[in-house]
């Protein structure tokens, strides 16, 4: 596991830790971050590379993955050992950023697809508040066993494509409903006319949301 850091030109007011999707790498999320319009706030972006592991769904091919996926059904995606291992890796990066001067409230966990799943899961295990969570085309894994310790006023940005054939829209909506049922009152749910992707409208909405959250935390 490696990380890549993109510093802001001025003193960073927040830190976003990014997790990519299955088979991608840190450069994928770096490309997304570059498209955000965050002119009003200074943000450090930290991009994580997932470990390389065999993925059952892809005939055991070695690729970067936060956890194994057995099949196409949601219940086929519950590689608990892999998810918990990735949670620990992400927690290490959070701890490092705190040691470098960020408060927990200045840190955001963000990810796309599988990366968004581990971002959401990892955030929910924390007892100390974060600045927010960003889950793009993702869902909450291990929801049946998940004990939500994260403070209920944590802002959460969830987005999905209406025609996503990989992470089905119903999975994302059920995850958002789960959060609301647990008492999370700052959940923002967006959907877009796309498949398993990122679109310009989504980037604009995320830019506005992130700017608002960072400003609100100053």
Of the residues 4, 103, 190, 196, only one is catalytic, namely 196
Q: What are phi and psi of 42, to 5 degrees?
A: -105, 125
Quick one: CA torsion of 142, 143, 146, 149, rounded to 10 degrees? 130
Within 119-161, strands assigned E span 132-136, 156-161
Q: What is the pLDDT of residue 72?
A: 74
200 Cβ contact list (under 8 Å, min separation 6) = none
Residue 196 is among the residues annotated as catalytic for this protein: yes
Q: Sketch the domain layout of the chain as residue ranges.
A: 3-216
Of the residues 25, 68, 79, 164, only one is catalytic, namely 164
Residue 164 is among the residues annotated as catalytic for this protein: yes
CB 38 within 8 A of CB 210: yes
Q: Band of the pLDDT at 75, cuts 50, 70, 90?
A: low
**61 forms bridges with which residues in the sheet?**
55
Tell me the pLDDT tens digit for each residue of 161-182.
Answer: 999 999 999 999 999 999 999 9
pLDDT value at 74 more than 70: no
Q: Band of the pLDDT at 31, cuts 50, 70, 90?
A: very high
Claim: this prediction has a pTM higher than 0.85: yes
Q: Band of the pLDDT at 143, cuts 50, 70, 90?
A: confident
3-216: what CATH class?
Answer: alpha beta
Helix residue spans in the chain (DSSP H): 26-35, 80-99, 114-125, 169-181, 200-216
What's the whole-number mean pLDDT along residues 68-83?
79
Q: Which whole-number Å values give the CA distances from 63 to 29, 68, 95, in the listed order?
A: 16, 10, 26
User: What whole-number distance in Å separates Cα of residue 189 and Cα of residue 187?
Assistant: 6
Of the residues 45, 86, 113, 175, only one is catalytic, namely 113
Q: What is the pLDDT of residue 76?
A: 59
């Amino acid at each position: 596991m490696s990380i890549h850091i993109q510093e802001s030109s001025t003193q960073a007011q927040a830190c976003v830790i990014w997790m990519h999707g299955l088979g991608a790498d840190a450069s994928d999320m770096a490309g997304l971050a570059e498209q955000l319009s965050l002119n009003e706030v200074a943000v450090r972006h930290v991009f994580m590379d997932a470990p390389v592991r065999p993925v059952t769904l892809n005939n055991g091919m070695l690729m970067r993955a936060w956890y194994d996926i057995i099949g196409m059904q949601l219940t086929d995606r519950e590689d608990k050992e892999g998810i918990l291992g990735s949670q620990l890796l992400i927690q290490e990066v959070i701890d490092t950023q705190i040691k470098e001067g960020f408060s927990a409230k200045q840190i955001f966990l963000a990810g796309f697809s599988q990366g968004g799943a581990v971002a959401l899961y990892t955030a929910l295990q924390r007892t100390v508040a974060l600045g927010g969570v960003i889950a793009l085309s993702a869902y909450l894994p291990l929801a049946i066993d998940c004990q939500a310790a994260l403070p209920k006023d944590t802002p959460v940005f969830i987005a999905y494509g209406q025609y996503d054939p990989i992470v089905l829209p119903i999975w994302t909506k059920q995850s958002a409903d789960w959060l609301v049922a647990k008492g999370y009152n700052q959940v923002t749910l967006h959907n877009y006319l796309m498949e398993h992707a990122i679109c310009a409208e989504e980037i604009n909405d995320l830019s506005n949301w992130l700017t608002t959250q960072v400003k609100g935390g100053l």
